[in-house]
């Protein structure tokens, strides 16, 4: 009750007090990044999930890909791509999109292993995702399933940045304009094959760097103007 009156860091400390020992408690132990800090100096983690559908209540994470961004540099040496071993067969429709078969997924890691590694990688950083509602919803659901609670994840949504930019210039937004790979074309970024979690995470990281540079990367740009 009255949690809405608490600061984000107070909410973090409240969750930390009740968090079970393990990955979620370690994640919550890291203080939140100052929202007034220059986005160029903030540690970021670009994340993408491939999922069996769009409903986190009944669908599940199929794969996770992520990579660090530090001071404007995408650190490919940190790139991770994990398949998640499912507890039920994948649907034909989802396999057509992400190309991960039941045989592939059966050789993957448990959801707990994947989320534990992801939380460790995310600690003290800001998440970056394209259409971040999907990643947030599935990560929140996974944390609640595994640990009984979910942290509040600070996130930068590259789709939201693009939408605000187009709206401010009174540009009509047509169907498909906000898709990741259509937005990349605007900045002259190379085309990658879509629907691979790691490739999409790297593609999102590159898009964010282009968006920041387009705003004028020489200026101090507070993190708060990017946060979802």
**Tell me: the pLDDT tens digits for 137-195?**
999 999 999 999 999 999 999 999 999 999 988 988 999 999 999 999 999 999 998 88
Query: Mean pLDDT over residues 37-50, rounded?
Result: 96
Mapping DSSP to helix (H, G, I), strand (E, B) and coil, where does residue 211 land? helix
* Residue 38 DSSP label: B
Q: Compute the distance between CA of residue 73 and CA of residue 190 in angstroms, rounded to an integer.
A: 17
Those residues whose C-beta lies under 8 Å from the C-beta of residue 144, and which sit 6 or more positions away, are 150
CATH number at residue 16: 3.30.420.10
Residues forming beta bridges with residue 80, ordered by sequence position: 66
Name the CA dihedral angle for 165, 170, 172, 178, rounded to a multiple of 10 degrees.
10
Mapping DSSP to helix (H, G, I), strand (E, B) and coil, where does residue 50 land? strand
Task: Please identify which residue in the block is written with the tokens 């930390």.
Answer: 16
The pair of three-digit structure tokens given for residue 159, joined into one six-digit string: 């789709």
For residue 91, the enclosing domain spans 3-225
Tell me the DSSP string of 56-123. TTT--EEEEEEEEEETTEEEEEEEEEEEB--SSPPPHHHHHHH---HHHHHTSB-HHHHHHHHHHHHT
**Is the pLDDT confidence value at 81 over 90?**
yes
The whole-number pLDDT of residue 95 equals 47
Q: Compute the distance between CA of residue 186 and CA of residue 171 in angstroms, rounded to an integer.
A: 14
Query: Mean pLDDT over residues 42-55, rounded?
Result: 96
Mapping DSSP to helix (H, G, I), strand (E, B) and coil, where does residue 138 land? helix
Quote the number of domains for the chain: 1
The pLDDT > 90 percentage for the chain reads 79
The whole-number pLDDT of residue 102 equals 60
The pair of three-digit structure tokens given for residue 127, joined into one six-digit string: 């998440």
Query: Mean pLDDT over residues 24-47, rounded?
Result: 96
**Is the pLDDT confidence value at 51 over 80?**
yes
The pair of three-digit structure tokens given for residue 4, joined into one six-digit string: 């809405």
Antiparallel, parallel or unpaired: β 155-157 and 126-129: parallel
The H-or-E segment that residue 126 falls in is: strand 126-129
The pair of three-digit structure tokens given for residue 202, joined into one six-digit string: 């790297």
């Amino acid at each position: 009750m009255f949690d809405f009156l608490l600061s984000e860091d107070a909410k973090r400390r409240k969750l930390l007090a009740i968090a079970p020992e393990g990955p979620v408690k370690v994640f919550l132990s890291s203080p939140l990044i100052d929202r007034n800090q220059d986005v160029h100096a903030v540690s970021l983690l670009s994340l993408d999930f491939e999922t069996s559908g769009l409903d986190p209540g009944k669908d599940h994470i199929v794969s996770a890909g992520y990579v660090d961004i530090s001071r404007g540099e995408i650190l490919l040496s940190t790139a991770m791509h994990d398949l998640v071993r499912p507890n039920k067969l994948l649907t034909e429709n989802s396999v057509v999109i992400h190309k991960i078969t039941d045989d592939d997924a059966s050789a993957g890691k448990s959801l707990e292993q994947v989320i534990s590694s992801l939380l460790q990688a995310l600690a003290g950083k800001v998440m970056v995702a394209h259409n971040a509602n999907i990643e947030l919803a599935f990560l929140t659901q996974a944390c609640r399933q595994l640990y009984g609670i979910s942290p509040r994840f600070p996130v930068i949504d590259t789709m939201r940045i693009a939408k605000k930019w187009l709206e401010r210039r009174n540009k009509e937004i047509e169907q498909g304009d906000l898709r990741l790979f259509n937005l990349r074309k605007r900045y002259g970024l190379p085309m990658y094959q879509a629907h691979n979690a790691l490739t999409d995470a790297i593609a999102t990281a590159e898009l964010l760097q282009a968006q920041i540079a387009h705003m004028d990367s020489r200026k101090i740009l507070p993190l708060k103007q990017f946060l979802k």
